[in-house]
Amino acid sequence: MEERWDLLEKIGAYAAGELEEAEARETERLLAEQEDHRRLAESYTRMLVLMSVTAQESPEAPEAMVNHVIRRAYVAAFLQQAETFVSGLGRSYIGAFVYYLGLRPREA
């Protein structure tokens, strides 16, 4: 689970342009390999743009907004991981059930 948080932080830092060149290239490779990672980077980018525009329009609001956005990002990431885990677990149980009942056609 700690690896996942590290990945979230790395993708967030990449979207914010805070990575050194070597780390940025490594993160770009991860983004090219995984669609989920690309979507996360796009979400971070949209969030950063929204925060930037909001900060320009009302300079007194950013700290509260940043805290709210960070909490929402963590919750969204957690829910996405939970959904992935539960759907994988469900597929495994259904596969085992089908195997147990002998419903899978036998290969010739």
pLDDT tens-place string over residues 51-108: 777 777 776 666 776 677 777 777 777 777 778 888 888 888 888 888 888 877 666 5
Does 52 map to a domain? yes
Does 67 map to a domain? yes
Q: pTM of this prediction?
A: 0.51
Neighbouring CB atoms inside 10 A of 24's CB total: 15
Does 54 map to a domain? yes
**30: containing domain:** 2-101
Q: How far apart are CA 98 and CA 100, in angstroms?
A: 5
Does 107 map to a domain? no
Tell me the per-residue pLDDT of 12-21, one tens digit each, with 9 for 90 and over: 888 888 889 9
Number of domains the chain contains: 1
